[in-house]
Amino acid sequence: MKYFQASCDYAELAKIYGTPLYLYDLDSIQEQYKNIKASFGGFKSLVCYALKANSNLSIINVLAKIGSGADCVSFNEVKRALLAGIPRYKIIFSGVGKEDYEIREALKAGILFLNVESEMELLRIEQIARELFESPTQTRESNIADCSGNSLAQARISIRVNPDVDAKTHPYISTGLHENKFGLDIQTAKRLYLYAHKSPYLNPVGIHYHIGSQILESSPLLESTHKILDLAKSLLSANIELKFFDIGGGFGISYNDETPFDMAGYISQIVRHIDALDLTAICEPGRFIVGNNGAILTRVLGEKRTSNKKFIIIDCAMNDLLRPSLYRAYHHVSYLGSGQGEQPDTNKTLEKCDIVGAICESGDYIAKDRELPICQKGDLLLIESSGAYGYSMASNYNSRLKPAEVGISKDKHFLIRDRETFDESVQSELRYLNNNKFSV
């Protein structure tokens, strides 16, 4: 199965930019955004791309250009969204551990709302809003920050409700059970909505849930939606004027042979109920937009045989793509030939092998038990479905340098991030090297 559809000359890309190299199909990224948006039909909706899946500014920008909002989990992500051209009134800020300065900056920036994850956080937001809006130095900034006709000087919030539903996904990326650290149970949420409603500093405009990532079945999401719709109804009848119904993200894609999440089917089953309450539907897809539209181009360094196993060692490792090591995730790997530009010979004998990186950890692998042709040093491979949680989880482990990123659009390729250099990687340490105060 080939997921990466951009037409490109891999040998040429490898020659120009080097490997390992992240590639993104910018046209398909836009296409996928448009498909999601179209599932909402004529109903009021806002698709907020979840930046943590891939926060390259150019990728955010191609989405911003066609109307996307942003779901951010740190204030730095909010800054990225703004830099890339997403308007503040389409930005939401989620996350279990927001720092005070992040809350303050988000309120000053006038984003659409903050998703609240705990009672303590709600009280902190209220306190920070009070300080901010009552301070004599209050700038015009916070006045013009209002965007939806709400009274000024209030923090717009939404509460993340934990519906206690099993998303049936990997335990590390499941978030909707009471045993997870995310969100608030329905009773607590209700109490906090009533509290926020009375507070002069808080304006509860939204309701939110997000039960996990890489969800393939719609039943757990439908069950959650109905629970949260019931809660929204009871809040509306208590005169809490909600405006947004945020269904979160987590929509799963195909990495191997899974059937991807049926986004259009799911949305069509819920959007009428949301609209009937006169709420704007918001969704926060990350992986679903970029996952299959990114790939890593990598070169074979060599092979190694033990008595019963063959390893192909490549120049991409767990520091570039952590998902196999962290989640035992599957990524399809395809053989692209010698990298000299000729067509790969598909009649070559296949052999079972593990495809591994050069890092000093047994957990450093990219793929296990795959059938590949006998590879020569310098051959090119493509690691598919690496657009989401690929570069955004990359590190410098083993003092390896982060790869370059290239966007492809209409048969043209554009560098969208330089390959990291060694000088850059040591810069913040080097200036302390010879003037430190410790003696040994």
Ligand X SMILES: *Cc1c(COP(=O)(O)O)cnc(C)c1O
Q: Residue numbers of the site for ligand X (CB under 6 A)?
A: 50, 52-53, 71, 73, 94, 210, 213, 248-251, 284-288, 388
Query: H-helix or E-strand containing 267?
Result: helix 263-276
What are the helix (H) ranges across 119-262?
119-134, 140-144, 186-198, 219-237
Beta-carbon contacts of 386 under 8 Å, excluding residues fewer than 6 positions away, are 22, 294, 295, 296, 321, 323, 331
Calpha distance 269→198 (Å, rounded): 34
Nearest to ligand X of 73, 353 (CB atom): 73
Q: How far is the CB of 105 from ligand X (least distance, A)?
A: 19
Comparison of 173 and 194: residue with beta carbon closer to ligand X: 173
Q: Closest separation between CB of residue 368 and ligand X, Å?
A: 24
In the complex, what is the shortest distance from the CB of residue 221 to ligand X, in angstroms, rounded to a whole number?
Answer: 12
Contacts of 435 (CB under 8 A, 6+ apart): none
Quick one: tokens of 106? 């988000």
Nearer to ligand X, 304 or 328 (CB): 328
Whichever of 10 and 261 has its CB closer to ligand X, that residue is 261
Contacts of 70 (CB under 8 A, 6+ apart): 48, 49, 50, 51, 60, 77, 78, 81, 86, 90, 91, 92
Q: How far apart are CA 103 and CA 196, in angstroms?
A: 16
Token duo for residue 436: 């430190």
Q: H-helix or E-strand containing 325?
A: helix 323-327
Task: Note if 360 is an active site residue.
Answer: yes
d(CA 61, CA 84): 5
53 vs 196, which CB is nearer to ligand X? 53
Q: How far is the CB of 255 from ligand X (least distance, A)?
A: 13
Question: Which of 48, 72, 360, 375 is labelled catalytic?
Answer: 360
Q: How far is the CB of 283 from ligand X (least distance, A)?
A: 8
Q: Report the phi/psi class of residue 227: left, alpha or beta, with left for phi > 0 and alpha for psi in -120 to 50.
A: alpha
**Cβ–Cβ under 8 Å, residues 213 and 173:** yes
Helix (H) or strand (E) holding 270: helix 263-276
CB of 49 to ligand X, least distance (A): 9
CB nearer ligand X, residue 90 or residue 287: 287
Sole residue written with tokens 């992986």: 287
Nearer to ligand X, 165 or 388 (CB): 388
- Residue closest to ligand X (Cβ): 286
Residue 275 or 284: the one with the smaller Cβ distance to ligand X is 284
- Give the three-class secondary structure for 120: helix
Nearest to 223 by CA among 184, 190, 269: 269
* β-strand pairing of 280-283 with 45-50: parallel
- Residue 318 one-letter amino acid: M
State the catalytic residues. 360
